[in-house]
């Protein structure tokens, strides 16, 4: 085989979650009452904008979740096939030029020279203290004065290709909608242009244009330049920012999966049964809240680190070691972050158990399990949906803070937190090396902003009280 698949625990959980989401989509499509709130989500402009941005992040994360080890060249035909100890992903293959074009040290965005001066020998044999040329960034230029002319031409060409692809996609969408609505293509285009459709097609096409322009220009420029510069060891910062997407998504999604069963079960049980059950659950989450979260997470992660150092034989590659620490971090964050949602669900369940339809069902002899399944849980789902998305944003930011203080993901794993942690000393330089911190900040900012906008739209669509107001 040209490659040996590597199945990490987080990869398995990610694709299991992806399969559950696909199954849920097909299930929701079968029932109109479940389709209705999601239809409202897709009818909002903020909803489709945030979904398209999130889909871009999810695509990068899924590509980075297919791990394998490449085969090494064998000298003879009958030799045993050996594989590299380095674990790579599909995203690494896509970004192979960025991954392999490693400079000596820092270089600024779009630079053709290193950021620091060095003693170097000139063509005449003299020693000069100057900025050395980069090995890859702008190496195709005959003169440095042609840099901005070359960048401008690359932007024009990339933008033209993006516009061409966008036009073809827009025409295909218009043809599909015209056939679906049984109308002429001209009428359909006019309806899209005037915004007379039930879905914001104009907004979708505009976002598609923005994403295509951004992607094509980024690809076109990153072939010949380091668009976001390089770090201390010469690695491309754009490559690091894209590789950090998976870490952020894993922290946000898997931690939520760990937290959700505890919050649902204990919150509903405490609110519905009350009595000694409520007292025990309140005692548990009150005690857990009294312990500083950062200290509890730090203690758990350090214990896991001691175990991995004492049992190195359990981890074949560095990627497996880093993945185990990431999974353990998700579990610890989930165990310490369920208390907030549990309190909210307990308070809402206390109110719902006194509702007339619940009292009527109880008087008719309906079992508690049926009441919880048919009446309580469906009326709590809008709170759960909103809390999941908002907790996702908070957990993505928490990873950056934990990695900054040294108890986050493994140092060998690329993440936004590790980028910020390594950039803190760079901010004290003169001149300042600002691009690593800026790239990590804006990557997190866009993801968290899209998630929060999506949470707002989901709240408006799923909250029954919001629907009655409208």
Enumerate domains of the chain plus CATH numbers: 3-100 (no CATH), 141-222 (no CATH), 242-469 (1.10.3720.10)
Residues 6+ apart with CB under 8 A from 382: 458, 459, 462, 463, 464
Residue 207's pLDDT is what? Answer: 93
pLDDT of 192 over the 70 cut: yes
Edge-first strand listing for the sheet containing 83-89: 3-6, 67-71, 83-89
pLDDT-based confidence at residue 141 (cuts at 50, 70, 90): confident
**Contact by Cβ (8 Å): 391, 246:** no
Residue 402's pLDDT is what? Answer: 80
Whole-number Å distance between alpha carbons of 426 and 283: 46
- Name the residue with higher pLDDT: 121 or 278: 278
pLDDT of 469 over the 50 cut: no
Residue 357's pLDDT is what? Answer: 84
Q: What is the total residue count of the chain?
A: 470
Residue 155's pLDDT is what? Answer: 93
Mean pLDDT (the chain) is 84
> CA of 351: how far to CAs of 27, 304, 376, 416, in Å?
30, 42, 10, 41
- Enclosing H/E stretch for 109: none
- Name the residue with higher pLDDT: 198 or 163: 163
| Of the listed ranges 2-11, 123-132, 319-328, the one predicted with least confidence | 123-132
Q: What is the pLDDT of residues 196-238, one digit of tens each?
A: 788 888 899 999 999 999 999 999 999 889 899 898 888 899 9
Residue 165's pLDDT is what? Answer: 95
Q: What is the pLDDT of residues 56-97, one digit of tens each?
A: 999 999 999 888 888 777 665 556 777 777 888 999 888 888
Mean pLDDT, range 40-55, rounded to an integer: 90
Q: What is the pTM of this model?
A: 0.88
- Name the residue with higher pLDDT: 315 or 440: 440
pLDDT of 129 over the 90 cut: no
Residue 470's pLDDT is what? Answer: 41
pLDDT-based confidence at residue 468 (cuts at 50, 70, 90): very low
| Of the listed ranges 1-5, 24-28, 39-43, 165-169, the one predicted with least confidence | 1-5
Whole-number Å distance between alpha carbons of 50 and 56: 10
Q: What is the pLDDT of residues 294-349, one digit of tens each?
A: 788 888 888 888 888 888 777 777 888 888 888 888 888 888 888 888 888 988 88
> CA of 432: how far to CAs of 107, 137, 221, in Å?
12, 20, 24
Query: What percent of the chain clears pLDDT 90, i.e. is strictly above it?
Result: 14
Mean pLDDT, range 424-435, rounded to an integer: 79
Residues 6+ apart with CB under 8 A from 358: 352, 371, 375, 376
pLDDT of 16 over the 60 cut: yes
Residue 140's pLDDT is what? Answer: 82
Mean pLDDT, range 396-414, rounded to an integer: 79
Residue 40's pLDDT is what? Answer: 87
């Amino acid at each position: 085989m040209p490659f040996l698949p590597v199945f990490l625990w987080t990869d398995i959980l990610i694709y299991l979650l992806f399969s559950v989401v696909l199954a849920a989509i097909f299930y929701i499509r079968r029932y109109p009452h479940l389709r209705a709130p999601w239809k409202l989500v897709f009818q909002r402009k903020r909803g489709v904008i945030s979904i398209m941005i999130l889909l871009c992040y999810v695509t990068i994360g899924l590509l980075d979740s297919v791990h394998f080890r490449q085969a090494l060249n064998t000298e003879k035909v009958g030799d045993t096939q050996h594989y590299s100890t380095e674990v790579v992903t599909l995203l690494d293959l896509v970004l192979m030029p960025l991954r392999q074009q490693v400079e000596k040290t820092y270089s600024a965005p779009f630079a053709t020279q290193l950021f620091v001066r060095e003693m170097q020998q000139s063509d005449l044999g003299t020693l000069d203290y100057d900025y050395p040329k980069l090995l890859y960034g702008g190496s195709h230029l005959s003169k440095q004065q042609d840099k901005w002319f070359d960048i401008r031409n690359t932007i024009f060409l990339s933008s033209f290709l993006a516009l061409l692809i966008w036009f073809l996609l827009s025409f295909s969408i218009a043809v599909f909608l015209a056939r679906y609505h049984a109308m002429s293509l001209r009428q359909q285009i006019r309806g899209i242009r005037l915004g007379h459709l039930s879905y914001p097609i104009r907004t979708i096409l505009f976002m598609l244009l923005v994403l295509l322009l951004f992607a094509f220009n980024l690809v076109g420029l990153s072939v010949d330049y380091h668009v976001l510069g390089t770090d201390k060891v010469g690695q491309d910062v754009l490559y690091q920012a894209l590789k950090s997407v998976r870490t952020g998504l894993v922290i946000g999604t898997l931690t939520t999966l760990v937290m959700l069963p505890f919050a649902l079960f204990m919150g509903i049980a405490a609110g519905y049964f009350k009595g000694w059950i409520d007292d025990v659950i309140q005692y548990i989450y009150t005690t857990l809240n009294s312990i500083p979260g950062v200290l509890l997470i730090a203690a758990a992660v350090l214990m896991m680190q001691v175990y991995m150092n004492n049992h190195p034989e359990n981890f074949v590659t560095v990627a497996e070691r880093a993945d185990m620490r990431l999974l353990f971090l998700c579990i610890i964050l989930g165990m310490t972050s369920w208390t907030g949602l549990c309190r909210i669900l307990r308070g809402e369940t206390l109110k719902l158990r006194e509702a007339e339809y619940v009292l009527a069902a109880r008087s008719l002899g309906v079992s508690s399990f049926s009441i919880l399944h048919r009446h309580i849980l469906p009326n709590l789902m809008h709170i759960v949906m909103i809390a999941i998305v908002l907790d996702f944003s908070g957990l993505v930011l928490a990873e950056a803070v934990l990695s900054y203080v040294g108890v986050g993901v493994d140092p060998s794993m690329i993440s936004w937190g590790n980028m910020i942690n390594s950039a803190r000393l760079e901010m004290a330089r003169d001149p300042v090396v600002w691009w690593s911190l800026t790239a990590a900040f804006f990557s997190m900012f866009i993801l968290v902003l899209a998630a929060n906008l999506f949470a707002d739209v989901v709240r408006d669509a799923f909250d029954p009280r919001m629907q009655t107001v409208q």
